[in-house]
Amino acid sequence: MGTSCCHSSPALPHSFFALNLKNCLSLSSPKASTRGVHQIRALNVKVMQEDMVMNIPHVLSVAGSDSGAGAGIQADLKACASRGVYCSTVITAVTAQNTAGVQGVHTVPEEFVAKQLKSVLSDMDVDVVKTGMLPSINIVKVLCQSLKQFPVRALVVDPVMVSTSGDVLAGPSILDIFREQLLPMADIVTPNLKEASALLGGLQLKTVDDMCSAVKSIHDIGPRNVLLKGGDLPASLDAVDVFFDGENIFELCFPRIKTQNTHGTGCTLASCIAAELAKGSPMLSAVKVAKRYVQTALDYSKDIVIGNGIQGPFDHLFKLKSIALNSFRQWAFDPSVLFLYAVTDSGMNKRWGRSITDAVEAAIQGGATIVQLREKDIETGEFLEAAKACLKICHLHGVPVLINDRVDVALACDADGVHVGQSDMPARMARTLLGPEKIIGVSCKTPEQARQAWIDGADYIGCGGVYPTNTKANNRTIGLEGLKTVCLASKLPVVAIGGIGVSNARSVMELDLPNVKGVAVVSALFNRECVLAETRKLRTVLREKPAGRK
């Protein structure tokens, strides 16, 4: 395979622009002089734009469409997206397909496949081409010609001939052109046992030793690397794949996952390899990452049920199960959950002989509407286990749980979001890591900080300390007037925090600011003997109508 080179214009020295500007200004006509200045400015902008080009890893999938979205083009798109790689597509066939099998195949005419290939390869900087279902000899020929005209960094060939459910997707007539033209161009080929047997003239593969011999024979056909997938190997407790780079054989073993949700594993593995190669990984590293990714996805998705057939799809993005288990979550953040915002404190709980989970359960029963786990004095492992337990308790009551500061813990336990301070991870970075659906709050004391929280994609701000408090060292108080100033500048809903309790919560709510949605409390709940009773008292106070309202 050739390597495509993208040559950007070299940065030009300042003297170049100065010299040309001088030449332009020396033109006799004022109009010509003005035109010359504009030309230089345009050239300057173009050079700067070229210098700022960001190379996005790009995989082109040339494969069939699966209407059930478990395999084919759909699996390739999801696999590349999960690996952070852009994926374009060329459709070679449209299948009527579901979890029961393939009910029909409609081959796309080779002329139109050629148009798709030219459209993508002539315009976009494709790093790696990954092939799946190639249903006709002429489509294979068109692909090989296109790759000679538009060379890419690597070609990953998944020789799709028979689906995992046993449906034939490519006839024996294609085998010859695979051997003669396509495989000699491939950087890696990823057959399963049935496909490897077909490529080798019907050779039966029943053991790992058979696989080790087969990868060498397939390598002799021409591909630079061979990955033989042994998922269907009989009487094997592990899922064993054999990789051969022309010199060394590697047996890649992972525990076999007991699940029927295996539709699309081959497509996904090849796409993941392509994605890692597009990012610049060496071949063996790309194969290992892809193998681990598929293994993890299978384990995560082993119990999900989609369709009534014998072979279901799996979840490439690791989202479906958590969404189903946490169906109470709302897609849009509801500011009303800020009404009674309970913030835990490990030191206070220890003082009263309570665990974090006991404190959280009492606060929930007392009427807390959202919980923030603010645990500064415990180890990360202990915090993570406590967070998981608190999530179960809170989610049973439909109450969201946020983690204070620790985005890593929030990700590990799949919390509903985080709350960050001005000296913690910026909200925009937390949003990038957590995604669009999680809740992000930011502590703010000034209008400028409140405006920045809006720009950075926060959902709400915590404003304070309103009153003096002992829960945070050197915490400057802003008073009710400071709270009012920040609220008037904020486009986000606000929860007031800092020294608030039963005795002064009414003063906060009587400011009658429309974006003040509630109060956040620490000591008033958790530095008391009975968290349940104190939470109920505060909830009653907050529900009272402010003076002057009917």
Give pLDDT tens digits for 413-430: 999 999 999 999 999 999
Give per-residue pLDDT as tens, 129-153.
Answer: 999 999 999 999 999 999 999 999 9
Residue whose tokens read 């909200």: 427
Prediction pTM value: 0.70
How many distinct structural domains can be found in the chain? 2
> Predicted confidence band at 325 (pLDDT cuts at 50, 70, 90)?
low
Helix (H) or strand (E) holding 185: none
For residue 237, pLDDT beyond 90: no
Q: How far apart are CA 359 and CA 530, in angstroms?
A: 9
Strands (E), 101-176: 101-107, 128-133, 154-160
Residues 6 or more apart in contact with residue 220 via CB below 8 angstroms: none
Q: How is the beta sheet containing 128-133 ordered, strand by strand? A: 101-107, 86-98, 58-66, 128-133, 154-160, 188-189, 226-230, 238-244, 249-255
Structural domain span for residue 488:
326-543
Residue 255, pLDDT score? 86
Q: Is residue 208 part of a domain?
A: no
Instruction: Specify whether 149 is located in the same domain as 284.
Output: yes
For residue 168, pLDDT beyond 90: no
Residue 376, pLDDT score? 83
Contact in structure between 253 and 239 (CB atoms under 8 Å): yes
> Predicted confidence band at 435 (pLDDT cuts at 50, 70, 90)?
confident
Residue 2, pLDDT score? 40
Instruction: Specify whether 387 is located in the same domain as 264.
Output: no
Strands (E), 280-438: 340-343, 370-373, 401-404, 417-420
Q: Is residue 409 part of a domain?
A: yes
- List, in sequence order, the alpha helices (H) in 83-154: 110-121, 137-149
Residue 308, pLDDT score? 93
What 8-state DSSP symbol labels residue 179? I
| CATH number, domain containing residue 158 | 3.40.1190.20
Q: Is residue 275 part of a domain?
A: yes
For residue 18, pLDDT beyond 70: no
Q: Is residue 198 part of a domain?
A: no
Q: Which of 233, 303, 296 is nearest to 261 (CA)?
A: 303
Instruction: Specify whether 125 is located in the same domain as 148.
Output: yes
Please identify, among 272, 294, 318, the residue that sits at the C-terminal boundary of a domain.
Answer: 318
What 8-state DSSP symbol labels residue 261? -
Instruction: Tell me the percentage of the chain whose pLDDT exceeds 70.
Output: 85
Average pLDDT of the residues in 272-296 = 95
Residues 6 or more apart in contact with residue 522 via CB below 8 angstroms: 343, 344, 345, 348, 374, 469, 471
For residue 5, pLDDT beyond 60: no
| CATH number, domain containing residue 430 | 3.20.20.70
> Predicted confidence band at 192 (pLDDT cuts at 50, 70, 90)?
very high
Instruction: Specify whether 272 is located in the same domain as 409.
Output: no
Q: How far apart are CA 405 and CA 407, in angstroms?
A: 6
For residue 42, pLDDT beyond 60: no
**How is residue 373 written in tokens?**
């786990």
Residue 521, pLDDT score? 97
What separation in angstroms does the CA of 305 have from each of 201, 294, 300?
38, 18, 12
Q: Is residue 445 part of a domain?
A: yes
The single-letter code of the amino acid at 376 is K
Q: How far apart are CA 297 and CA 286, in angstroms?
A: 16
Average pLDDT of the residues in 395-409 = 95
**How is residue 176 written in tokens?**
């010859």
Q: Is residue 308 part of a domain?
A: yes
- Torsion angle of C-alpha atoms 163, 167, 173, 178, degrees rounded to 10: 0
Residue whose tokens read 């009551």: 397
Neighbours of 157 (CB within 10 A): 24
Backbone angles phi, psi at 159, to 5 degrees: -75, 75
**How is residue 257 written in tokens?**
């996952």
Instruction: Specify whether 167 is located in the same domain as 55.
Output: yes
Instruction: Specify whether 266 is located in the same domain as 363.
Output: no
> Predicted confidence band at 32 (pLDDT cuts at 50, 70, 90)?
very low
Instruction: Specify whether 272 is located in the same domain as 340.
Output: no
* b/e burial code for range 295-332 (CB count within 10 A of at least 16 → b): bebbebbbeeebeebebbbbbbeeebeeeeeeeeeeee
Residue 243, pLDDT score? 97
Q: How far apart are CA 341 and CA 544, in angstroms?
A: 17
Instruction: Specify whether 53 is located in the same domain as 133.
Output: yes
Q: Is 68 helix (H, G, I), strand (E, B) or coil?
A: coil
Q: Is residue 209 part of a domain?
A: no
> Predicted confidence band at 165 (pLDDT cuts at 50, 70, 90)?
low
For residue 163, pLDDT beyond 80: no
Instruction: Specify whether 40 is located in the same domain as 91.
Output: yes
Instruction: Specify whether 304 is located in the same domain as 349.
Output: no
Q: How far apart are CA 430 and CA 267, in angstroms?
A: 32
Query: Would you name the residues annotated as active-site residues?
Result: 229, 262, 264-267
Instruction: Specify whether 536 is located in the same domain as 445.
Output: yes
Q: Is 268 helix (H, G, I), strand (E, B) or coil?
A: helix
CA–chain centroid gap for 117, Å, is: 28
Contact in structure between 445 and 482 (CB atoms under 8 Å): yes
Contact in structure between 431 and 370 (CB atoms under 8 Å): no
Instruction: Specify whether 312 is located in the same domain as 439.
Output: no
Give per-residue pLDDT as tens, 337-391.
Answer: 999 999 999 899 999 999 999 999 999 999 999 999 998 888 999 999 999 999 9
Average pLDDT of the residues in 189-210 = 93
Q: Is residue 252 part of a domain?
A: no
